[in-house]
């Protein structure tokens, strides 16, 4: 069968002040009709560059070689004017984040109808009617109304459905999906994937599905190509690649995928008789200032609720996982615990009641540390690593530590970084290394509780695995309790002793990890478990590294 999209020996270089850097190196792949090719790679591997190369939207600094063919059309030599007729008409694209790929100043229908008018020559009226039909087909309940809505009036999932409808609108031969579910919540992502499967089977379009998520690709794709530093290292049928990966990199990548059945901590954990370290008692957080005038006039309070009556406890040396979609109030709780948000209710730390910011004294600050999601923003770009790490020592360290010139080096070695990194600035480190520095900073004061707020979600899967391993290691050494906040259910099932599930500001479930899959759980928790794609292959079948 002749492929619809045929890429052969394609190389792409970007001109930089230091010369050419290779983004894609001799990429050869093909997508046939009705086929889904999953392109898997970590950040910086060149997968998005390839997408843009196919769409013929490259910066001026790009230099290319090789060929990209769409059936009989050679795209690399086609003129700009001809490309414009092909883009959107014969090749569609679905972007990662629907909130940025839609124009916020135009109604959704306008954006969909424009494609139809432009490429299929429909009149405005026909285009709107057709657009409505398209929206109904992608499973939107009120297509007529949706056509007239602006992007901010639709949810993330609805917007992504509109983007998908736009991509399929002109019945293109090939569609590129660039991480279409990464910006969405797990349950929404699952629905979008189901929709993708239906439309794919119905139209038989050749799909190039780009993702960093191996588990996800194993579910949607027929064939998979693994890209590493611009080079396709392995390509083949999904089952074959995942069952018996040939390349070292693929093996490493597969081994790094979190699997709930592959526990990284002692299963027992501290029993229920263990002492509670932190007890959160009916804590609520409301955002927004109390409007003074509204209070005077006796109007309703319009504050936004971040947390509603959360009660939970973390035992000494326990890893408590908190899962939930974005906006469910996970981070709000973390911020309340560290005094970044005012809260109502009471927190008891080692038996001591804390009812507000005033009660968070030096001892509490020392014992409760937080690690943030983005190491880029949690490390001050203008400070050297030495200065960053010296602050907790200056505030909470022992006298010896403050005098010891090697204290910083010791902290760095504790997180498996060379001591020489002390003289570097954060931008000279990779994402994983930066997050290790943030971990070192949190552990410098020997805390009893460390709050990890989505600390691995900005990292690649292989880096994530090593950071998680480090955390588990530190936990074993120091017996620190963790509040591990994440949206990744598979990851949290690997390391947590108990799991709390949050939904729209409420705590809906708090169960032992073992009871999660079988026991009595909330309906939302069950749908969450069902929505999470199962990892590609059981850990036992993988070669150990």
Q: Which residues bind other proteins (CB under 8 A)?
A: 289, 335, 338-340, 360, 362, 365-366, 368-370, 372-374, 377-383, 391-392, 395, 438, 441
Q: How far is the CB of 462 from other proteins (least distance, A)?
A: 24
The residue among 218 and 378 lying less far from other proteins, judged by its C-beta, is 378
Task: Give the nearest distance from C-beta 379 to other proteins in angstroms.
Answer: 6
Shortest CB 408 distance to other proteins, Å: 16
Shortest reach from residue 315's CB to other proteins, in Å: 22
CB of 391 to other proteins, least distance (A): 7
Q: Of 255 and 444, which has the nearer Cβ to other proteins?
A: 444
DSSP string, 72-118: TEESTT--HHHHHHHBTTTEEEE-S-HHHHS-TTS-HHHHHHHHHHH
Longest CA–CA separation in the chain, Å? 79
Q: Which of 259/441 has CB closer to other proteins?
A: 441
CB of 368 to other proteins, least distance (A): 8
* Residues whose CB is less than 8 angstroms from the CB of residue 137 and which lie 6 or more positions away in sequence, other chains included: 165, 199
Q: Minimal distance in Å, beta carbon 419 to other proteins?
A: 22
Nearer to other proteins, 302 or 540 (CB): 302
Min CB(442)–other proteins separation in Å: 9
From the centroid of its chain, how far is CA 181? Answer: 9
Residue 28 token pair:
């050869």
Cβ burial, residue 366 (10 Å; 0-12/13-18/19+): middle
Cα separation values, 379 from 15, 217, 427, 432, 440, Å: 30, 33, 9, 13, 12
**CA–CA separation, 385 and 357 (whole Å):** 29
Beta partners for 22?
A: 13
User: If we measure between CA atoms, which residue out of 437, 393, 444, 441 comes closest to residue 417?
Assistant: 437
Of the two residues 230 and 339, which places its CB atom closer to other proteins in the complex? 339
Closest CB to other proteins among 142 and 340? 340
CB of 381 to other proteins, least distance (A): 7
- φ/ψ region of 58 (left if φ > 0, alpha if ψ in -120 to 50, else beta) reads beta
CA–CA gap between residue 509 and residue 502 (Å, rounded): 7
Looking at the Cβ atoms of 208 and 371, the one nearer to other proteins is 371
253 three-state secondary structure? helix
| 3-class secondary-structure state, position 132 | helix
Nearer to other proteins, 30 or 397 (CB): 397
Of the two residues 457 and 462, which places its CB atom closer to other proteins in the complex? Answer: 457
Of the chain, the end-to-end C-alpha distance in Å amounts to: 38
b/e sequence 249-262, b meaning 16+ C-beta within 10 Å: bbbebbbbbbbbeb
């Amino acid at each position: 069968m002749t492929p619809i999209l045929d890429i052969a020996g394609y190389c792409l270089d970007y001109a930089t002040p230091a010369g050419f850097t290779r983004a894609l190196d001799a990429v050869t792949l093909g997508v046939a009709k009705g086929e889904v090719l999953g392109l898997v790679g970590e950040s910086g591997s060149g997968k998005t560059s390839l997408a843009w190369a196919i769409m013929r939207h490259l910066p001026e600094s790009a230099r290319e070689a090789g060929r990209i063919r769409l059936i009989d059309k050679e795209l690399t030599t086609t003129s700009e004017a001809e490309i414009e007729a092909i883009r959107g008409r014969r090749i569609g694209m679905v972007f990662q984040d629907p909130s940025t790929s839609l124009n916020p100043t135009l109604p959704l229908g306008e954006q969909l109808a424009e494609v139809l008018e432009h490429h299929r020559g429909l009149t405005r009226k026909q285009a709107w009617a057709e657009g409505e039909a398209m929206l109904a087909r992608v499973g939107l309940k009120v297509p007529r109304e949706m056509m007239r809505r602006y992007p901010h009036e639709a949810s993330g999932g609805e917007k992504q459905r509109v983007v998908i409808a736009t991509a399929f609108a002109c019945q293109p031969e090939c569609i590129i999906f660039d991480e279409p579910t990464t910006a969405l919540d797990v349950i929404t992502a699952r629905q979008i994937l189901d929709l993708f499967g239906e439309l794919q089977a119905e139209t038989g379009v050749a799909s190039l599905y780009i993702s960093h998520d191996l588990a996800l690709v194993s579910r949607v794709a027929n064939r998979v190509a693994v890209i590493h530093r611009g080079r396709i290292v392995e390509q083949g049928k999904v089952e074959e690649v995942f069952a018996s990966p040939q390349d070292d990199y693929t093996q490493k990548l597969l081994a790094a995928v979190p699997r709930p059945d592959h526990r990284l901590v002692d299963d027992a954990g501290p029993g229920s008789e263990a002492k509670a370290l932190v007890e959160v008692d009916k804590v609520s957080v409301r955002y927004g200032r109390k409007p003074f005038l509204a209070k005077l006039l006796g109007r309703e309070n319009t504050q936004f609720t971040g947390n509603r009556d959360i009660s939970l406890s973390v035992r000494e040396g326990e890893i408590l996982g908190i899962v939930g979609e974005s906006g469910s109030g996970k981070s709000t709780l973390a911020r309340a615990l560290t005094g970044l948000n005012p809260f109502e209710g009471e927190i008891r730390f080692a038996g001591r009641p804390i009812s507000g910011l005033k009660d968070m004294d030096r001892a509490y600050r020392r014992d409760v540390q937080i690690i943030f999601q983005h190491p880029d923003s949690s490390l001050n770009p203008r400070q050297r690593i030495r200065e960053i790490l010296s602050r907790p020592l200056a505030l909470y360290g022992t006298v010896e530590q403050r005098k010891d010139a090697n204290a910083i080096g010791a902290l760095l070695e504790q997180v498996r970084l060379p001591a020489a990194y002390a003289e570097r600035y954060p931008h000279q480190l990779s994402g994983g290394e930066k997050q290790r520095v943030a971990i070192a900073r949190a552990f410098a004061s020997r805390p009893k509780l460390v709050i990890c707020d989505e600390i691995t979600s900005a990292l690649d899967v292989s880096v994530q695995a090593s950071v998680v391993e480090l955390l588990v290691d530190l936990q074993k050494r120091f017996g620190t309790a963790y509040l591990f906040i994440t949206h990744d259910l598979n990851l949290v099932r690997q390391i947590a002793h108990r799991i709390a599930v949050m939904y729209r500001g409420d705590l809906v479930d708090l169960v032992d990890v073992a009871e999660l899959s079988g026991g009595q759980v909330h309906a939302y928790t069950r749908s969450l478990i069902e929505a999470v794609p199962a990892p590609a292959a059981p850990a036992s079948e993988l070669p150990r590294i």
